[in-house]
Structure 1
Amino acid sequence: MKEQKERNELLIEGRNAVLEAFRSGKPIDKVFILDGCQDGPIRSIVREAKKHDTILNFVAKERLSQLSETGKHQGVIAFAAAYEYADIEDMFELAKERGEDPFLLILDNIEDPHNLGAIIRTANLAGAHGVIIPKRRAAGLTSTVAKTSAGALNYTPVAKVTNLVKTMEELKERGLWFVCADMDGETMYRVNLKGPIGLVIGNEGEGVSRLVKEACDFTASIPMKGDIDSLNASVAAGVLAYEIVRQRTM
């Protein structure tokens, strides 16, 4: 399966192994548990998952068998992140160290790990201070993401949050304003992209979700002269990020 191939070395199988991974502080993105299984070790894993706000999936035995590499999953499989997630505060500290206005990328519905890795790479090269992704409907920090980022994941903080809209509202209180990439928005050259800013990018199929878009202050579009109507998400992120760089250096 695609999910397994992308994450295989991050797979943790078995009750003790998963429980120890939680207790050791290893970042766990998702846990798959055999539906209906409620014995002591499983209940402990569920408690740990809830404590760490990890996504829980209760699935049929066939699904676990598909995911399993060893065939000895004991009713539980976890996917661990390849890298530690950062705190948003780390991003503000990085901006402060550089003496710059905060510049963050907020990613909505970016589920392709290659796109996520490419965006993190662009964020680093464009001088962004961090990338924020949601817990659900998003790629996590898998080894594929790390490889595609070409090392940028070592330098660019990535935070994972439960609610993008709530996070954006909190960041507005700290002085940020948000521009959303949208085909129907104002041409990016006409939008003032200076100051503390969050650039919001959605996937090329569905774009930014309605609630996240409504939380943005402005929308900006990329001029397109061809016969198709959308860019790959990582390319769109790069074009808009460098328009922000251009305006900041004027």
Structure 2
Amino acid sequence: MAKPYERPDKQKKNKKGATKGSGGQRRRGLEGKGATPRAEDRVYHAAHKRKLERQRRDQGRHEREQADLVVGRNPVVECLHAKVPAEALYVALGTGHDDRLSEAVTLAHSKGLPVHEVPRQQLDDMTGNGMHQGIGLKIQPYKYADVFDLIGSVDGPGMFVVLDNITDPRNLGAVIRSTAAFGGHGVIIPERRSAQVTGVAWRTSAGTAARLPVAKVVNISRTLKEFKDNGYMVVGLDAGGEHTLDTFDGAKDPVVIVVGSEGKGISRLVRENCDVIMSVPMVDWVESLNASVAAGVVLSEFARQRRLETA
């Protein structure tokens, strides 16, 4: 019987394996392709865009830390008088001169600091805003004190302020200024979840951060225990305290004042290490005070009691 007609170019398939000359395509197709890339590494994924945005913010933060500026004519002059460790003075082109600006330039020259005239837009970019009044002082990273050295260096009854949950550098700067003004010996802040001594804090402190030591510690609770072991009374400020400022008379002894944020207050573990929880008396319809204001009020009263003791 004659075979049915077949096209001459039609190849017969080998049912036992790959066709000769296939290059092992079927074998490679069965091989694993490795682990699935993370979502943030896939360029089409939303997580990748969030990663890029996070890197951009971190880079901006790093650049701001590298070029930390104190801005404003009065703060710059006060920092120069206080011998704040600075690197250069920047003045925006076209800035109107007055006595404070001339004084800042003169002080910078006397200290051997370079004075750079830059376009106003460049100074805007360096500071992040246009509230610099045409002048900025580049400062060096702040050198924090050691808390154990602070405890051992006080001659007489010491008075320190410990900040808990304070994240606004303006509050930190204001507390530093109040502590210095009322005879305090130092400010202690935690390493994490806290404002640091940056240009904003320098500006708010009006240069007093150059003369009042600030220590940074890992654990606030352990630090308070160390103070107590050295004879200090720990006073925590809280709106619901069992003692009030007008009835407290322990400020003449070594004392540590713990100040929490206006919203969160003092954290639980820190509160448990306080000897006294004290409130500032005020009218009923005002719920609370800003942290730096509360610290200033208490420091002022404690300084008054100490003056009466030595009078």
**Does the TM-score normalized on the shorter chain lie above 0.5?**
yes
Q: Secondary structure at the match of 1:249?
A: helix
Contact preservation (8 Å) 1:94, 1:129:
no
Q: Secondary structure at the match of 1:144?
A: helix
Q: Structure 1: which 4+ aligned runs deviate by more than 6 Å? A: none
Q: What is the total number of aligned residue pairs between the two structures?
A: 187
Contact preservation (8 Å) 1:187, 1:220:
yes
AA aligned to 1:187 is: T
Match in the other structure for 2:58: 67
Q: Secondary structure at the match of 1:227?
A: coil
AA aligned to 1:131 is: V
Equivalent residues in 2 for 1:109-124 (5 A)?
109-124=165-180
Contact preservation (8 Å) 1:90, 1:157:
no
AA aligned to 2:259 is: I
Does 1:84 pair with 2:143?
yes
After TM superposition, the score normalised by the length of structure 2 is: 0.56
Equivalent residues in 2 for 1:41-56 (5 A)?
none
Contact preservation (8 Å) 2:185, 2:212:
yes
Equivalent residues in 2 for 1:166-205 (5 A)?
166-185=222-241, 186-191=243-248, 192-205=250-263
Contact preservation (8 Å) 2:161, 2:179:
yes
In structure 2, how many angstroms separate the alpha carbons of the residues matched to 1:77 and 1:124?
30
Match in the other structure for 1:132: 188
Q: Secondary structure at the match of 1:184?
A: coil
For residues 99-148 of structure 1, what are the alpha-carbon distances to aligned partners after superposition, in whole Å with 9 as ceiling and x for unaligned? x2111100000100000000000000011100000011100111111111
Query: Which one has a bigger Cα radius of gyration?
Result: 2
Match in the other structure for 1:106: 162
For residues 197-227 of structure 1, what are the alpha-carbon distances to aligned partners after superposition, in whole Å with 9 as ceiling and x for unaligned? 0000001111111110110000111011152
Structure 1: unaligned runs, 5 residues or longer: 1-35, 38-58
In structure 2, how many angstroms separate the alpha carbons of the residues matched to 1:162 and 1:92?
16
Task: Pick from 198, 201, 211 the counterpart of residue 142 of structure 1.
Answer: 198
Contact preservation (8 Å) 2:151, 2:227:
no
Two-structure CA RMSD over aligned residues (Å): 2.4
AA aligned to 1:200 is: V
Q: Secondary structure at the match of 2:154?
A: helix
Structure 2: unaligned runs, 5 residues or longer: 1-39, 42-49, 67-139
Higher relative contact order (CA 8 A, sep 6+): 1
- Percent identity, please: 42
Contact preservation (8 Å) 1:91, 1:102:
no
Q: Secondary structure at the match of 2:194?
A: coil
Contact preservation (8 Å) 1:126, 1:242:
yes
The alpha-carbon deviation at position 83 of structure 1 amounts to 1.0
For residues 11-54 of structure 1, what are the alpha-carbon distances to aligned partners after superposition, in whole Å with 9 as ceiling and x for unaligned? xxxxxxxxxxxxxxxxxxxxxxxxx99xxxxxxxxxxxxxxxxx
Structure with more strand by fraction: 1
Q: Secondary structure at the match of 1:60?
A: helix
AA aligned to 1:244 is: F
Contact preservation (8 Å) 2:177, 2:205:
yes
Contact preservation (8 Å) 2:262, 2:288:
yes
In structure 2, how many angstroms separate the alpha carbons of the residues matched to 1:77 and 1:163?
28
The alpha-carbon deviation at position 228 of structure 1 amounts to 2.2
Does 1:242 pair with 2:233?
no
Task: Pick from 146, 154, 165 the counterpart of residue 210 of structure 2.
Answer: 154
After TM superposition, the score normalised by the length of structure 1 is: 0.69
In structure 2, how many angstroms separate the alpha carbons of the residues matched to 1:213 and 1:243?
22
The alpha-carbon deviation at position 246 of structure 1 amounts to 1.4
Contact preservation (8 Å) 2:246, 2:281:
no
Match in the other structure for 1:41: none
Q: Secondary structure at the match of 2:160?
A: strand
For residues 143-196 of structure 1, what are the alpha-carbon distances to aligned partners after superposition, in whole Å with 9 as ceiling and x for unaligned? 111111001101110000000001111111111110000111111121222201
